[in-house]
Amino acid sequence: MAWAFMSATSKPAEVVVPHGGPSLKARAMRLLARREHSREELRRKLVPKLVEGDDLDAVLDDLAARGWLSDARYAEQSIRAKSRRYGPLKLAHALRAKGVDDDAIQAAFRAAGEDGHSNLESVWKTRFKALPTGDRERGRQVRFLQGRGFALEDILRFLKARG
């Protein structure tokens, strides 16, 4: 273990700039090491850390050129991770809120393939055990599935086929 050889006061080497903290690129690398980020999401996190003379766009461009920052990769990973719980409409909306463009979202859905396919039936089964018996229960189930990001016509087609 590398931990055994580190003293309690030693810290990993960081690039330090005159203002006393880690550089903008070091902060970006630390954030990207934890998980994927979209370009806009990383920008929002780094803007409060800007100091006069820092060029955020240049840092983001450099990270993207090296392949460390990719909206397409972020979108695909996000779709794969959340598709078992949410439908395609909610996933696309969340990605747009993070600054990913529509072309990258569509490409990510295609790239995710079966892993990114939301199964309406499995989401329905997590909440409901039986088909709706009345209009009130039907409306409740439809609202739940719409809130999870499925299209109304898909929901109605699913419920009609099941019952």
| pTM, full prediction | 0.78
113/81 same-domain check: yes
Return the H-helix or E-strand segment holding 26: helix 24-34
110/135 same-domain check: no
d(CA 51, CA 155): 50
136/147 same-domain check: yes
Is residue 41 included in any domain, yes or no?
Answer: yes
86/107 same-domain check: yes
Amino acid 11: pLDDT:
53
Amino acid 1: pLDDT:
43
Amino acid 107: pLDDT:
93
24/41 same-domain check: yes
DSSP classification of residue 113: G
Amino acid 13: pLDDT:
47
Q: Would you call 22 helix, strand, or coil by DSSP?
A: strand
Amino acid 78: pLDDT:
94
Low-confidence ranges of the chain (pLDDT < 50): 1, 5-6, 13, 15-17
Is residue 1 included in any domain, yes or no?
Answer: no
126/162 same-domain check: yes
Range of the domain at 64: 15-69
Is residue 34 included in any domain, yes or no?
Answer: yes
d(CA 162, CA 128): 13
Amino acid 125: pLDDT:
93
Tokens of 74: 């972020």
Is residue 3 included in any domain, yes or no?
Answer: no
63/75 same-domain check: no
